[in-house]
Amino acid sequence: MKSQGCRMCKLNQALRRKIILALIFSPIFVLGCDESNSLNTEYGAISGVRGGDSLNGTRYFSEMFAAQGAVVKRSSVINPKIDQYNTLVWFPDSDAVPSAQAISRLSDWMDSGYQRTLIYVAGGSRTTEDYLRTAIEKVPVDQKEEYLRRISEEIISDYNNDFGSRWIGVNFGPSTCDWFDVADKRIGKKKAVSGLLLAEEKTYPEMELDFSYDLTPRKEWQPKELLFAADKPFIFSMSDPSARNSESELILVTQGSILLNYSLIDEDKQDLAAALIRRCDTSQGVLFLESGSDGIEVRESSISNHSQWSWITQPPLCYIVPHVLFLGVIFCFVYFPIFGRPKRITQRSTSTFRNHISATAELLARSNQPNRAINKIRDYQRAVSGDTNRNKSD
């Protein structure tokens, strides 16, 4: 146990150094050529041109799973492939609660396996404002005004697109689902994190979290508070009451900024992320679900194209078939050339006089002129007899 703890500590330290190296130069590009788009703030993505190293990305949380030996994959759809995994992680970047179809499919996934875990990070909390407030202390004086403008834009953006108004507004769909309810109630900042998720009753008295709106899990799912910020629970363990002996759980995280790239620079928040990972079975890999503002698509089949040839586009055939076709083309060029395959002719000896006679006879036969052939033979006989008589006289 001691060696495992030391190993985890070293992995966390290495991960922290990697995050710092990836993000430390970000202030240089905040003002860039295009001030409005230079700061990378894409939410909830593991990889991609802007997603992997985003302040609000999930790349480093996924690497904490990988550091424990888990194979981490990503998907933008919910399809039968999710049944291969015992752990799913979902950071939705949506203006609405999860669709009934998505909730039903994920609930079935939890019920159909043993000790499966779904980490659902609700609320879409960002770390952009925290980053800007930290970076403004380290930039030259002539750039502070630009940083203040960006901070103001973030505050206004949060106010206009706040969690409650987006989820509760008439034009943005319902504010409730089978997992939780959302209330348009400002919580504010809470300090000091503690709870059952932390070992040995450990606490973080200086950690402060900002809660914009109240999110309450449904009582039917038997919620159990795992972490508190002061008196406000923000991580819950939930289980489907209709499931029997599956021991699967839904971990509802209502303040997800603690798991984003920029937040994981802080060692204390790394500890919180590591505590979540320890509750998951990662032996069969981990799948991160990524969804945009339109929600996530749910498919009944793993094949997106349902034509009669669609099976070719699926792994592993999508890797095997092109190589087979390439080898087939080479085979056709070798064994079926355009002008036919060259014949192999046995070499004949040129010193055997009999072969010359046979060749002459074959040529005479092809001429279809019997008299000419007879005349040639007679000429040959006269020539031979004349040579014989000349030799005798000599």
What does the pLDDT profile of the chain (394 residues) look like in tens digits? 444 445 455 555 555 555 554 554 444 444 443 343 467 777 777 876 566 777 778 888 999 999 988 999 988 889 899 999 999 999 887 656 888 899 999 999 998 888 899 999 886 666 666 666 666 666 677 776 776 676 666 655 554 554 444 444 333 445 678 898 887 666 778 889 999 888 777 899 988 887 777 788 988 888 999 999 988 899 999 988 777 666 889 999 988 888 888 888 888 889 999 999 999 999 899 999 988 777 788 888 766 555 566 667 767 788 888 899 999 999 988 888 877 777 777 777 777 777 777 887 888 788 788 888 788 878 878 887 876 666 666 6
- Which ranges of the chain would DSSP assign to H, the alpha helix? 2-23, 26-30, 59-67, 100-111, 128-135, 141-160, 163-168, 267-278, 317-335, 353-366, 370-393
User: Would you say 120 and 254 are in contact if contact means Cβ atoms under 8 Å apart?
Assistant: no
pLDDT of the residue at 305:
53
CB contact set of 47 (below 8 Å; sequence gap of 6+): 59, 74
CB contact set of 204 (below 8 Å; sequence gap of 6+): 192, 193, 194, 268, 271
Type of residue found at 227: L
CA 264 – CA 270 distance, rounded (Å): 5
pLDDT of the residue at 14:
59
CB contact set of 315 (below 8 Å; sequence gap of 6+): none
CA 146 – CA 132 distance, rounded (Å): 10
CA 337 – CA 52 distance, rounded (Å): 51
Nearest alpha carbon to residue 285 among 58, 121, 117, 103: 117
User: Would you say 250 and 120 are in contact if contact means Cβ atoms under 8 Å apart?
Assistant: yes
User: Would you say 46 and 75 are in contact if contact means Cβ atoms under 8 Å apart?
Assistant: no
Nearest alpha carbon to residue 239 among 362, 127, 110, 349: 110
User: Would you say 250 and 179 are in contact if contact means Cβ atoms under 8 Å apart?
Assistant: yes
pLDDT of the residue at 166:
43
Nearest alpha carbon to residue 185 among 202, 168, 207: 168
Question: How far apart, in Å, do the first and last CA atoms of the chain sit?
Answer: 119
Nearest alpha carbon to residue 259 among 378, 89, 84: 89
DSSP 315: T
Q: How many residues are there in the chain?
A: 394
Supply the angle between the helices 141-160 and 128-135 in degrees, to the nearest 10. Answer: 160
The pTM for the full model equals: 0.66
Sign for the CA dihedral angle at 193, 230, 156, 44 comes to positive
